Amino acid sequence: MTTNVPERGFTDNEFAARTRRAQELMARDGLAGLFLTTEPEVRYFTGFQTVFWQSPTRPWFVFLPASGKPIAIIPEIGAELMRRSWLDDIRTWAAPTPNDDGISLLTDLLRPYARERARIGVMKGHETVLRMPLGDWERLVAALPGLEVADSTSLVHALRMIKSPAEIEKLAYICSLGSATFARVPDIVCHGMPQDEVFRAFRREALAQGVDDTPYLVGAAERGGYRDVISPPDRRPLQNGDVLMLDTGLTWDGYFCDFDRNWAIGVADDRARRAYDVLWRATEEGLATARPGNTCRDLFQAMGRVIAEFDSSGATIGRLGHGLGMQLTEQPSHADFDLTVLKENMVLTLEPSLSYGDGLTMVHEENIVVTADGARLLTQRAAPELPVI
């Protein structure tokens, strides 16, 4: 468990290394450039970190040429912050300008590539969004006849899936803060407390532990289990016999933890205890399977075999875990369709879930880093039996 507070940010060397690795893959794929519009990708190559992305008003662009540093094409309001990054070439405009929100700047930048009928990578695959108005994108492409646009989703995902030591340090730290927060839940939550107060108490505790923010918190509490893991909290007070689940994505320096814990309020019924035990053991199987060379499908099947002892429906919340980093959920997916081979320094969630009774569900989740020796837990392992508050 990390106890010291890591340094914020990254060295310029780290950004240079990320860029160099990207350019090697771009050369392999015959890409003359990579056009990026989304927060994690912009941050990955530049270090540009701001919550200002929450405003939908302004698009932000980074272009990675085949060699040299990335180029930023951004609203003037971000210039001061971007100038502190390792970039040299920062082009700005006075956004918002609805009839030309960076499009002229992008057209000027890309015109030479279009003239050479070059191939440019854009992320347009699974789990991606083009973060600019579709109309602007259509205008941009129309203004650049000859430019070939290729899907570079897997190229960028392949890079981002493998974390650097500095990234792992941040992830370990936010997981340790999350563990410390969960450990305090029995002290800050009590019978009779409305769910929305539980959420507020949890968020305040996480901040007291030192997280930067608590952007993701879902949970539920119902008699003997819960039905739904994505709803906002209601005012229903915690009652004897409830199973309470809290699942949180906390952040520190722009990196997420993503794990949950379950508790019984007052008393745990047999079925809930059994579901908990199955999921705890499924997670153990996941921990044993998460080693370099195995695939995400292997992880899915290993956890699934234990789950099937109790729940033969095969119904899951879609997958049994995923990548973790600058986003709450990243590639890969522990699912039957995902043949990604596990590699050292992947940071993953193990997230077995099952259904029981009349539409009840239960979810466990831990966060790990894959090492040469197998899984290393970043979270403090959940208790082997359903804890009672």
Nearer to a copy of itself, 66 or 81 (CB): 81
- Distance, CA of 195 to CA of 114 (rounded, Å): 56
Closest distance between a copy of itself and the C-beta of residue 134, in Å? 4
Note whether 40 and 328 are within 8 A (CB): no
* Residue 337 C-beta: closest distance to a copy of itself, Å: 6
380, 183 contact by CB (below 8 A): yes
Q: By CB under 8 A, what part of segment 303-362 binds a copy of itself?
A: 317-319, 322, 327-329, 333, 335, 337, 359
Across 182-198, b (16+ Cβ under 10 Å) vs e yields: bebbeebbeeebebebb
Per CB under 8 A, the segment of 107-115, 130-138, 273-281, 286-294 that binds a copy of itself is 130-138
State CA 43 to chain mean position distance: 14
Determine if 385 is a binding residue for a copy of itself (CB under 8 A). Answer: no
3-state DSSP call for residue 322? strand
Handedness of CA 167, 169, 172, 174 (dihedral sign): negative
Residue nearer to a copy of itself on the CB measure, 47 or 286: 47
57 is a contact residue toward a copy of itself (CB under 8 A): yes
Give the closest residue to 36 by CA, choosing from 1, 4, 2, 74.
74
Contact (Cβ atoms closer than 8 angstroms) between residue 297 and residue 336: yes
- Please state the closest distance from residue 331 (CB atom) to a copy of itself, in A: 9
Indicate whether 133 belongs to the interface with a copy of itself (CB under 8 A): yes
- Count other C-beta atoms under 10 Å from residue 329's C-beta: 18
C-alpha 198: how far from chain center: 24
Looking at 104-112, 175-183, 230-238, 302-310, which segment touches a copy of itself (CB under 8 A)? 230-238
- In angstroms, what is the minimal distance from the CB of 68 to a copy of itself? 26
Stretch 99-118 residues interacting with a copy of itself (CB under 8 A): 99, 101
Report the nearest approach of a copy of itself to the CB of residue 50 (Å). 4
Q: Which of 19, 214, 289, 379 binds a copy of itself (CB under 8 A)?
A: 214
- Is 77 a residue that touches a copy of itself (CB under 8 A)? yes
The correct pick among 6, 210, 237, 292 for binding a copy of itself (CB under 8 A) is 210
CB neighbours (10 Å) of residue 146?
11
Torsion angles phi and psi, residue 3, rounded to 5: -115, -30
Residue selected from 24, 88, 108, 196 as contacting a copy of itself according to rule CB under 8 A: 196
Task: Tell me if 205 sits within 8 A of 184, measured CB to CB.
Answer: yes
**Can residue 151 be called a binding residue for a copy of itself (CB under 8 A)?**
yes
CB of 373 to a copy of itself, least distance (A): 29
